[in-house]
Amino acid sequence: MPSNLDTLDNSIVQSEMARKSDFSSPYYGEPRKFDPTFRGPISNRSCTDVFCCVIFIIVILGYIALGTVAWLHGDPRKVIYPTDSYGQFCGQKGTPNAKKSILFYFNILKCANPAVLINLQCPTTQMCVSKCPDRFATYTDMQLQYQITAAPWEYYRRFCKPGFNNPTKPVAQVLRDEDCPSMIVPSRPFLQRCFPDFITLNGTLTVAKRTHFKDALDKARSVTELRDAANGITGLVDAKEVGMKIVEDYAASWNWILIGLVIALVVSLIFILLLRFTAGLLLWFTIIAVILVIAYGIWHCYLEFSLLRQQPGADVTIVDIGFQTDVTVYLHLSQTWLIFLIALCTIEASILIILIFLRKRVRIAIALLREGSKAVSYIMSTLFYPIITFLLLAICISYFSVTSVFLASSGDAIYKVMAAEPNCMYANKTCDPETFNKTNVSKTCPGAQCTFAFYGGETPYHRYLFILQLSNLLIFLWLVNFIIALGQCTLAGAFASYYWARRKPQDIPTCPLFSSFSRAIRYHTGSLAFGALILALVQMARIILEYLDSKLKGASNVAARFLLCCLKCCFWCLERFIKFMNRNAYIMIAIYGKCFCTSARDAFCLLMRNVVRVAVLDRVTDFLLFLGKVLIAGSVGVIAFFFFTHKIPIVQEDVPTLHYYWVPLLTVICGSYLIAHGFFSVYAMCVDTLFLCFCEDLERNDGSPEKPFLMSAELHSILRKTEHH
């Protein structure tokens, strides 16, 4: 590769010396001096932030120990299987309840809300059954029919306590001892629990087409009472039905979804490769294509809005019709298209304003991306590094999820006295079901029972379960940020080796990605862990603030809500700033091999000495890459839309029959965007690394024969443009 000195004259050298004197500031440090021995990422380096590395390793070992302890004490069956009043799992193999996988509530009217039901703390007897009731019946009616035939009793006894076989026992005593439910209503299983089978007929809530019924004491009851007792269950049942249909849609279309994602993968790879040769043309095509697509969307939305506004009934608002699983219902409302129209107009105006006011910087950013495409083309292995990051994150997320489940299911069965009378002195006291009948509780409180309440314990382990869950979350955030930091440092080291190579590609080291990964793991685990810990603590604080905000939503304390809102905003800004600084600190670590604090300080001072160029790079290049992601995801999404809506004649017969075509469509669009993001994140890291190397090159060298630039002539022309804009 010919020397860049041929393209630089003495006037440029003088301008560079003048520029350095202008940007030199005691607040942001002095520019680096020329070092003739510097050849890019330092290979002769030592371990950094050793103390933090040791702490990080100890925490990982402790995390493994935490998972082991949770595995020993936890029992996922407590989460998977419902538990009856005797602490036995419903549906567990090898037990009398093996074929009884559904939990039945004797008196669901005692249950205040769905949360009580799901947490198994409803104050009524709970029993495992094989099927939910499918008819209305009361114990009184059963006794009257039993005098004629035993069939009603044979059916009713399925929902009585095991071993109870006295259908002639007085109703009052049966209800007092809770031997059988006072009534049964048509129900269906949901979350392995029997809930009333609510159905809406002509706007009226019914159960088996009935709105009223009577209990065992011949007291009139209404379906509304059932609804109030299980408030929100109807919505959950509908959600279950929608969920089942979504699962069926995935089962019918998974192969076509996979094909769509493969197409997105191929298109993303082709896009990256084309940037190497036609960066300017391709990026301007992307910008124009996005503008034209949005313009077409605006025209289409306006056309639909104009047509629907003239049709009767189309002026109904979205709030009036509520939530509908059939998306096409919303497409028949003029308000829907008006919302689409306003949103697209806003997006289009934002893009045009950015292009008008930043058109010169867009051209500069395109040139930077063109230079980045050269680096990617020389180190193609970097495009596949996100797969390693994905696998590490998948392992981390899986371990965190399993540990959380085992921690949540840790504890022994706790039994409490459930009294039939409200003034019982033993009500809600802890009891032992094996010795309960030998105590005087039954005599003092007739009808009282010792029933299962929840899982817990009084040991130190059980008392600190909440702290362990918080520790699990914090370490999880730490590990996730460390994995991301490792990827950023690895890619930065690989791309820095490209920049500082005097002859490209001859002087680029062999296997630069693997060498960079090895250096990051061997020498800088402590530094990466340090930066990841700082970010994890801020994210943990944000999670706690979000939790407090959810608890204060109904509070009337305006001052507290305002203060919380300010704190959330501040921590959000802090998180964004730390992410930005960490990213640049990892680049400096990859190049110079210094500790985290020193690297972060050097990166900050370097960026502040080149603040004008940072403004060009940081957002404009991100904006261009974002448009590329949108174009890829949008183009694949359009093809998927025409396919799943039977609008491609050639493959109409191969299209699967779906309940909701938007299920595979949204999956393909989101998956395509994530795939494109994986490729473009490598590109973004490349540009950021080249930019910092670029600034370092400008401070180390001046383009003279003694201090030649390592940048290309094109990059130097970019520098001159940024100084004039």
Query: 519 and 419 in one domain?
Result: no
In a domain, 246, yes or no: no
In a domain, 311, yes or no: no
What average pLDDT does range 289-303 have in this prediction?
Answer: 87
pLDDT at residue 18, as a whole number = 42
- Domain containing 185: what range? 102-218
pLDDT digits (tens, 9 = 90+) for 523-571: 999 999 999 999 999 999 999 888 887 767 656 677 877 888 889 899 9
pLDDT at residue 617, as a whole number = 66
Pairwise CA distance, residues 368 & 157, whole Å: 78
Which tokens hold the place of 115? 């949360």
pLDDT at residue 205, as a whole number = 59
More confident residue, 617 or 633: 633
In a domain, 392, yes or no: yes
Contact yes or no for 644/688 (Cβ under 8 A): no
In a domain, 358, yes or no: yes
Contact yes or no for 184/135 (Cβ under 8 A): yes
pLDDT at residue 224, as a whole number = 64
pLDDT at residue 79, as a whole number = 63
Helix residue spans in 500-656 (DSSP H): 512-523, 525-551, 558-592, 596-609, 611-615, 622-644
What average pLDDT does range 52-56 have in this prediction?
Answer: 95
pLDDT at residue 501, as a whole number = 78
Which tokens hold the place of 513? 């990605």
More confident residue, 110 or 627: 627
Query: 375 and 423 in one domain?
Result: no
Query: 442 and 519 in one domain?
Result: no
Which tokens hold the place of 308? 């629907």
Q: Which residues pair with 195 in a beta bridge?
A: 188
Helix, strand, or coil (residue 88):
coil
Query: 608 and 489 in one domain?
Result: yes
More confident residue, 35 or 671: 671
pLDDT at residue 115, as a whole number = 40
Give the confidence band of 114 by pLDDT, cuts at 50, 70, 90.
Answer: very low
More confident residue, 269 or 85: 269
What DSSP element (H or E) covers 454? strand 449-456
pLDDT at residue 484, as a whole number = 93
Query: 623 and 678 in one domain?
Result: yes
Pairwise CA distance, residues 584 & 588, whole Å: 6
pLDDT digits (tens, 9 = 90+) for 237-287: 455 566 667 777 788 888 888 888 889 888 888 887 787 777 778 778 888
pLDDT at residue 21, as a whole number = 41
pLDDT at residue 60, as a whole number = 95
| Most trustworthy range by pLDDT among 9-18, 509-518, 552-561 | 509-518
- The fraction of the chain above a pLDDT of 70, given in percent, is 75
Query: 291 and 182 in one domain?
Result: no
Q: Is it the case that residue 404 has pLDDT exceeding 70?
A: yes
Query: 496 and 379 in one domain?
Result: yes
Which tokens hold the place of 192? 């392995």
Q: Of 218, 251, 275, which residue constitutes the final position of a domain?
A: 218
Query: 416 and 401 in one domain?
Result: no
Alpha carbon of 75 to those of 102, 160, 201, 402: distances in Å? 19, 28, 42, 11
pLDDT digits (tens, 9 = 90+) for 137-155: 888 888 888 888 888 888 8
Q: Average pLDDT of the chain?
A: 77
Which tokens hold the place of 658? 């779906």
Among 8-22, 181-195, 217-231, 317-331, the least confident range:
8-22
pLDDT at residue 463, as a whole number = 73
Which tokens hold the place of 650? 């050639």
Which tokens hold the place of 74? 């936890």
Identify the CA nearest to 268 among candidates 541, 566, 675: 675
Which tokens hold the place of 507? 């002087």
Question: Tokens 């930005």 belong to which residue?
Answer: 580
Q: Is it the case that residue 635 has pLDDT exceeding 90?
A: no
Q: Is the peptide bond before 505 cis (omega within 30 degrees of 0)?
A: yes
Query: 596 and 694 in one domain?
Result: yes
Query: 279 and 163 in one domain?
Result: no
Which tokens hold the place of 680? 């473009």
pLDDT at residue 54, as a whole number = 95
pLDDT at residue 250, as a whole number = 80
Q: What is the pTM of this model?
A: 0.70
pLDDT at residue 697, as a whole number = 77
The two beta strands, 198-201 and 193-196, are unpaired
Number of domains into which the chain is organized: 3
Among 113-122, 183-192, 238-247, 423-432, the least confident range:
113-122
Cα 83 to chain centroid distance, Å, stands at 30
In a domain, 329, yes or no: no
Which tokens hold the place of 261? 């994602």
Helix, strand, or coil (residue 629):
helix
φ, ψ for residue 85, nearest 5 deg: -70, -10
Alpha carbon of 593 to those of 40, 48, 52, 57: distances in Å? 11, 8, 16, 20
Range list of β-strands (E), 346-442: 412-418, 430-431
Give the confidence band of 63 by pLDDT, cuts at 50, 70, 90.
Answer: very high
In a domain, 301, yes or no: yes
Q: Is it the case that residue 352 has pLDDT exceeding 50?
A: yes
Q: Of 421, 439, 456, which residue constitutes the final position of a domain?
A: 456
Give the confidence band of 478 by pLDDT, cuts at 50, 70, 90.
Answer: very high
pLDDT at residue 203, as a whole number = 55
Give the confidence band of 664 by pLDDT, cuts at 50, 70, 90.
Answer: confident
pLDDT at residue 573, as a whole number = 92
Query: 551 and 431 in one domain?
Result: no
Contacts of 342 (CB under 8 A, 6+ apart): none
Give the confidence band of 420 by pLDDT, cuts at 50, 70, 90.
Answer: low
Q: Of 398, 429, 456, which residue constitutes the final position of a domain?
A: 456
Q: Is it the case that residue 627 has pLDDT exceeding 60?
A: yes
Question: Tokens 């105006």 belong to which residue?
Answer: 349
pLDDT at residue 236, as a whole number = 45
Pairwise CA distance, residues 88 & 78, whole Å: 10
In a domain, 559, yes or no: yes
Query: 372 and 447 in one domain?
Result: no
Contacts of 265 (CB under 8 A, 6+ apart): 675
Pairwise CA distance, residues 407 & 701, whole Å: 58
pLDDT at residue 101, as a whole number = 85
pLDDT at residue 485, as a whole number = 94
**What is the residue-wise DSSP string for 27-81?**
SS-PPPPP-TT--SS-SS-----HHHHHHHHHHHHHHHHHHHHHHHH--THHHHS
Altogether, the residues listed in the chain come to a count of: 725
pLDDT at residue 320, as a whole number = 63
Among 36-40, 380-384, 404-408, 585-589, the least confident range:
36-40
CB atoms within 10 A of CB 277: 12
In a domain, 236, yes or no: no
Give the confidence band of 483 by pLDDT, cuts at 50, 70, 90.
Answer: very high
What average pLDDT does range 351-367 have in this prediction?
Answer: 77
Q: Is it the case that residue 295 has pLDDT exceeding 60?
A: yes
Identify the CA nearest to 496 among candidates 654, 320, 688, 319: 688
